């Protein structure tokens, strides 16, 4: 009996081919568009997270107590070098970098801006986060008085490669000191804080300028996938402040939360489109075949078999739409992942908000599983009203009415 019902459901699903194909097309197009938007939004967020980790925070960062509140170089890690060596020996730790920072004023002959000067070791930064990939103009060179600055800071100061800067700040003794620098490179990290206010120089030069010791650091950034490392380091270094990426970047945490809400709304829209589309098809189909169902009930077929047939018809339409939508979605997502969308015309505005001019997407299996559940659920719900109409049928009246 089940095989017969299955066969009838399959044939009746495409009894009005043009009508069914229209619904399938509506489902597939709406689904593929939602998949593309979700992949693009996720890719944009994941790209920002990846570059922020590589350029600044890593997966974990260690600071001296009160530094993140006071932003004063007197709150620094005095035994940073030995901590770095210990961390590098741990399993699961991929890379560790030490950075020294100070806030101050950077000036040219005509412009000035508040900024942070950051002392880095280029070899360590390259291993940690492929620092050279952030370069937009010039070269990665901190020799002599070379400096690399953020792209938005360069626009604010109206400087270019070869321009001279003067950075002024307090050293550890409280004296105001100034350092003359020459712009060797301009970077775009998509980290708004760095792009709008970072001046990178050689770490050893900054130690001498500030009067700090070579084994001291403001920040120890750690690249590691070990989920237990945070609690281990908090227990091992109670006098220091250990934070994970999301604690250091609450804005990106909010973006992730918004991404989940956005995806939920997107799938709700897909579910609504599927529900309305299949409801319309099934309801009209049942009206067209009302005498057929009346005869089936009249010859003794149990309502549960008719219900099963209607549900299967709805599921076949929904599944066909899902498969075609998944195929279109995969093609679209692969294109967005490999090529992205070029927004070069809005590059200045995008850079200001930390985005690249070419936005690429990503692909997640969850897109397809969530959409499958949404479409199948909508397909099941869409037959409730048509089934209620069939259940209320009086076979004798239906057959007489059709004569």
Confidence (pLDDT) at 352: 63
**pLDDT value at position 377?**
84
Please enumerate in sequence order all residues whose Cβ is within 8 A of that of 67, keeping only pairs 6 or more positions apart, or say none: 75, 76, 218, 241
Kind and range of the H or E run holding 308: helix 303-338
- DSSP 8-class letter at 112: E
Give pLDDT, residue 397: 57
CB 164 within 8 A of CB 108: yes
Residue 16 DSSP class: S
Is 165:117 a contact under the CB 8 Å cutoff? Answer: no
Cα 346 from Cα 351, distance rounded (Å): 9
Distances (CA, A) of 244 to 57, 234, 240, 278, 320: 8, 11, 13, 47, 44
- pLDDT tens per residue, range 110-136: 899 999 999 999 999 999 999 999 999
Q: What per-residue confidence (pLDDT) applies to 394?
A: 67
Q: What is the structure's pLDDT at 275? A: 78
Give the closest residue to 187 by CA, choosing from 73, 34, 56, 287: 56
- Cα(263)–Cα(215) distance, integer angstroms: 46
Please report the pLDDT score of residue 373 as a whole number: 86
Beta strands in 19-143 (DSSP E): 60-64, 93-107, 112-120, 135-138
Question: Which of 223, 211, 50 is CA-nearest to residue 127?
Answer: 223
- Predicted local distance difference test score (pLDDT) of residue 88: 92
191 touches 47 (CB < 8 A)? no
- CA separation for the pair 183, 279 (Å, rounded): 65
Handedness of CA 137, 141, 145, 148 (dihedral sign): positive
Return per-residue pLDDT of the chain as tens, 403 residues.
Answer: 667 777 777 777 777 777 788 888 888 888 888 888 888 888 888 888 888 899 998 999 999 998 988 888 999 998 999 999 999 999 889 999 999 999 999 999 889 999 999 999 999 999 999 999 999 999 999 998 999 999 999 999 999 999 999 999 999 988 999 999 999 999 998 888 899 999 999 999 999 999 999 999 999 999 998 889 999 999 999 999 999 988 888 777 777 777 778 777 877 777 777 778 777 777 777 777 777 777 777 777 777 888 888 888 888 888 998 999 999 999 999 999 998 888 777 766 666 666 677 888 889 898 898 888 888 888 888 888 777 777 776 666 555 545 4
pLDDT, position 207: 95
Looking at residue 393, its pLDDT comes to: 67
Going by C-alpha positions, the residue among 19, 8, 2 that lies closest to residue 282 is 19
What pLDDT, on a 0 to 100 scale, did the predictor assign at position 262? 76
What's the CA gap between 150 and 134, in Å, rounded?
10
d(C-alpha 202, C-alpha 122), whole Å: 8
From CA 319, how far away is CA 326, in angstroms rounded?
10
Rg (CA), the chain: 31
Do the beta carbons of residue 193 and residue 140 sit within 8 Å? no
Longest dimension (CA), the chain: 104
pLDDT digits (tens, 9 = 90+) for 77-97: 989 999 999 999 998 899 999
- Tell me the domain boundaries of the chain: 2-52+252-401, 60-224
| Residues with Cβ within 8 Å of residue 222, at least 6 apart in sequence | 58, 59, 60, 61, 62, 87, 93, 95, 96, 229
Question: What SS3 state is found at 161?
Answer: coil
């Amino acid at each position: 009996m089940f095989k017969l019902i299955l066969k009838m459901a399959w044939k009746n699903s495409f009894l009005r081919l043009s009508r069914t194909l229209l619904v399938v097309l509506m489902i597939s197009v709406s689904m593929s568009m939602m998949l593309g938007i979700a992949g693009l939004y996720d890719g944009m967020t994941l790209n920002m997270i990846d570059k922020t980790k590589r350029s600044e925070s890593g997966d974990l960062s260690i600071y001296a107590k009160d530094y993140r509140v006071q932003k004063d170089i007197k709150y620094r890690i005095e035994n940073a070098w030995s901590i770095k060596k210990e961390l590098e020996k741990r399993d699961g730790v991929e890379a560790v970098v030490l950075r020294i920072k100070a806030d101050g004023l950077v000036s040219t002959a005509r412009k000035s801006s508040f900024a942070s000067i950051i002392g880095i070791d280029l070899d360590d930064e390259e291993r940690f986060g492929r620092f050279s990939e952030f370069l937009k103009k010039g070269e990665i060179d901190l020799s002599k008085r070379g400096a690399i600055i953020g792209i938005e800071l360069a626009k604010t100061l109206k400087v270019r490669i070869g321009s001279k800067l003067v950075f002024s700040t307090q050293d550890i003794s409280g004296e105001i000191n100034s350092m003359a620098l020459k712009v060797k490179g301009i970077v775009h990290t998509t980290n708004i804080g760095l792009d709008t206010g970072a001046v990178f120089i050689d770490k050893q030069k900054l130690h001498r300028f500030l009067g700090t010791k070579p084994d001291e650091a403001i920040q120890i950034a750690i690249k590691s996938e070990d989920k237990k490392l945070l609690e281990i380091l908090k227990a091992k270094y109670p006098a220091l402040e250990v934070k994970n990426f999301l604690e250091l970047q609450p804005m990106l945490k909010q973006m992730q939360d918004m991404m989940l809400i956005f995806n939920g709304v997107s799938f709700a829209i897909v579910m609504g489109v599927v529900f309305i589309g299949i409801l319309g098809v099934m309801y009209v189909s049942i009206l067209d075949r009302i005498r057929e169902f009346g005869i089936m009930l009249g010859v003794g077929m149990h309502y549960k078999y008719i219900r099963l047939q209607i549900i299967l018809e709805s599921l076949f339409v929904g599944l066909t739409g899902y498969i075609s939508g998944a195929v279109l979605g995969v093609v679209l997502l692969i294109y967005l992942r490999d090529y992205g969308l070029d927004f070069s015309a809005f590059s200045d505005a995008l850079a200001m908000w930390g985005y690249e001019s070419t936005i690429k997407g990503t692909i997640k299996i969850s897109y397809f599983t969530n959409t499958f559940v949404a479409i199948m659920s909508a397909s099941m719900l869409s037959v409730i009203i048509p089934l209620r109409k069939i259940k209320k049928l009086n076979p004798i009246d239906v057959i007489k009415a059709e004569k």
